[in-house]
Amino acid sequence: MTKKASSTKAKQQATQVENPETQDQVLAEAAETLAEHVDKTPERVASMFDSIAERYDLTNDLMTFGWDRVWRRAVRQAVYPQPGDQILDLAAGTGTSSKHLAAWGADVTACDFSEGMLARGRELHPDLNFVWGDAMDLPFEDNSFDAVTISFGLRNVADTKKAMSEMLRVVRPGGKLVICEFSRPVFSPFRAAYDAYLKTMLQVISRTVQENGEAYSYLADSILQWPDQDGLAHMLMETGWEDVEYRNLTGGIVALHRAVKGA
C-alpha cells in the first residue's frame, strides 16, 4: 500500500514532523525494534491472556494506579461515537472500552483473539457483541465500520503493519482509526524512572493479584521494545492511513494516535 501522508502532527496536542526524509530510517528502526526478543506468536499471546482474563481489569487498575480509566476516556472522546455508528473495538479484552463506546449509542463489535478474555467479557457485559478475531486477518467485510479502535493491544500483534492494513480494509472511506498504546515518556528523567518501574515494580504489583508472572514480564518487555510516537505514526502512513496525528497522555507513557481512511 502506498504512503498517503507525508507528515504527522505531534506536540502534546499536535506537532508536525518536519523532516519526511527520515521516514525510511524511522520505519527501519521501528521494524527492527519489533523483531527483537519478544515472542509474539499468536498462540503464545492468546494463551497468556487466557490465563489472566479473570482478574485482568483489576490488575490494570493496580499497575497504572487508575490511569487506565483516564486513558480510555480519552479514547472515547477521540472516537466521539454517534448513535448508530458501527465501531470495531479491536483487542477488546473483557469489553472495558467497548461498554463506554456503546453507552454513547454506537453499535460496537468487541473483537479479541483470546477466548478467555471473550468468555470473561460475555460474563461481565452480556449486552455487548463479542466476536473472536485475529487482527492480522479480520473476519469482517471491506468497509464495514465507521471507526476502528484498539487500546493496549497493537503491540501484542505479531505483524503490526499487517494489522494496520486490515484495519484500513474494514473501515469505510472517511472513517477513523484511534490507537491508544503505551509509548515513550518525553522527559528523560521521567523516562528513566518509568523504565525502572517496568523492569521491577510492575511485576511485583501484578503478582499480588495474578499467578502468571510470565505474562507481566512479557508486558514490560513489549512496552520497552515498542516503537516511539513518531515510529508508530510513520508506520500508519506507510500502510495508507491519512491525516495521521498523535498526542501524548501522562507525559508520553501513553500515546493516542488518530488517522483517517481516504475517500
**Tell me: the pLDDT tens digits for 71-82?**
999 999 999 999
In the chain, where do the E strands start and end? 86-90, 107-112, 129-132, 145-151, 171-182, 242-249, 254-260
Q: How confident is the model at residue 167 (pLDDT cuts 50, 70, 90)?
A: very high
What does the mean pLDDT of the chain come to? 81
Query: pLDDT at residue 119 above 80?
Result: yes
Burial class (CB within 10 angstroms; exposed 0-12, middle 13-18, buried 19+) of 128: buried
**What pLDDT shows up at residue 52?**
62
More confident of the two residues 178 and 199: 178
Residue 255 cell numbers, joined: 500515546
Percent of the chain with pLDDT over 90: 56
Query: pLDDT at residue 84 above 70?
Result: yes
Q: How confident is the model at residue 57 (pLDDT cuts 50, 70, 90)?
A: low
Query: pLDDT at residue 262 above 70?
Result: yes
Task: Collapse the DSSP code of 156 into the 3-class scheme (helix H, G, I; strand E, B; otherwise coil) and give the result.
Answer: helix
Task: Collapse the DSSP code of 10 into the 3-class scheme (helix H, G, I; strand E, B; otherwise coil) and give the result.
Answer: coil
Query: pLDDT at residue 251 above 90?
Result: yes
Select the highest-mean-pLDDT range: 63-67, 196-200, 244-248.
Answer: 244-248
**What pLDDT shows up at residue 244?**
98
What pTM does this model have? 0.79
More confident of the two residues 58 and 132: 132
Query: pLDDT at residue 2 above 50?
Result: no
